[in-house]
Amino acid sequence: MSETMELSFSQRVKEEIISRINSSAKADACLYGLLLCTNILNEDEITLLTETVSVSEMFSVNVSRICGEGNLTVVPTERGGGTVMYSITVNSADARSKLLGYFRIGEGRQRLDPKYPKNSLLPFMIAGMYLASGSISDPNKGYHMEMALPDLELCNFLGLTLLEKYDMLAKHVERKNHQVLYFKESDNIIDMLALMGATSASFELTNVKIYKDMRNNINRGVNCVNANIEKSIRAAEKQIEDIELIDAEMGLDTLPDNLREIAMLRYENPDFNLADLGAALTPPISRSGANHRLQKIAKIADDIRRTKL
């Protein structure tokens, strides 16, 4: 990637995760997660593909720390959109054997030591798995985080770990040659980011969620107000039609004083709501009282309509 290009939210998450790894124990747990999710992992070849420079550097530095210098080949490949794919290969058979033995990884990514890493380091292993296989959408566009894992056993292990230890339920789908664990619920994504050490990204997503929720609530409130206004306008129009019909057929003077008063008030003030009508009467009455009188007027108008059928 060109240095002048702005990092995506997904890349910034990975940068932040790596910045939180500040000890060899955390680095080991993270590298272990990375290895479990590498594109190729066996005694004949270990290769990681990544578009994130810091992931490439983190993998290279820590493999060299364990296996010694000179055992890696890094090949950058230009891709569309100005991105670069980095292919990092452990090119020494001795280094591959040492690396697999260091983490007790067997054939087919089998985890030979289920007690490693210990609970306090599990978040860093999960972070490593995410660095190798994960992505997240820009929260301004939508909520989606996923990890495309190389096999079902690893997928089940991670899914159960997240559920049993952190109460996070990931969904699963098979896509091409990968088993994909994903979250679409913003709260789960926020928790997942915090778990992996991307606290700034977690706060950023939280702020976006708060803003979206506020905007949605405002929109719902505006829609509700508009709906109520439209309902009031339709009701007032119907009431005026009733009053005009009564006036034409029998005259408003035939109405009882209380009904004639509100009929004339309604006719002269089509924009008044029920509370306004009630308050303008002498003496003032409640909203429900005004509604009750208008219903009586509506019944008189309906009776007139029936007699004209």
Residue whose C-alpha is closest to residue 157's, from 182, 181, 185, 132: 181
Residue whose C-alpha is closest to residue 123's, from 7, 218, 30: 30
Residue whose C-alpha is closest to residue 129's, from 165, 177, 180: 180
pLDDT at 221: 84
Which H helix or E strand runs over 136?
Answer: strand 134-136
Mean pLDDT, residues 40-58 taken together: 91
pLDDT at 2: 38
Neighbours of 145 (CB within 10 A): 25
From residue 288, how far is each of 17, 19, 29, 227, 285 by CA, in Å?
Answer: 61, 64, 69, 20, 8
Domain 9-197 indexed as CATH 3.10.28.10: yes
Burial of 96: CB neighbours in 10 Å, binned 0-12, 13-18, 19+: buried
User: Looking at the predicted structure, is the pLDDT value of residue 26 above 70?
Assistant: yes
Q: What is the pLDDT of residues 64-111, one digit of tens each?
A: 999 999 889 999 998 877 788 999 999 989 999 999 999 988 877 777
Average confidence score pLDDT of the chain: 90
Mean pLDDT, residues 222-235 taken together: 85
SS3 assignment, position 21: coil
Specify the higher pLDDT residue, 112 or 9: 9
Q: With pLDDT > 90 as the criterion, what percentage of the chain qualifies? A: 66
Amino acid identity, position 281: L
Q: What is the pLDDT of residues 290-307, one digit of tens each?
A: 999 999 999 999 999 998
Whether the link from the prior residue into 117 is cis, omega within 30° of 0, is yes
- The model's confidence at residue 112, banded by pLDDT at 50, 70 and 90, is low
Specify the higher pLDDT residue, 299 or 215: 299
User: Looking at the predicted structure, is the pLDDT value of residue 271 above 80?
Assistant: yes
Strand partners of residue 178: 175
Contact 183, 144 (CB under 8 A): yes
pLDDT at 42: 85
- Indicate the domain borders of the chain: 9-197, 225-307
Phi/psi for 216 (5° steps) reads: -65, -40
User: Looking at the predicted structure, is the pLDDT value of residue 20 above 80?
Assistant: yes
Which H helix or E strand runs over 12?
Answer: helix 9-19
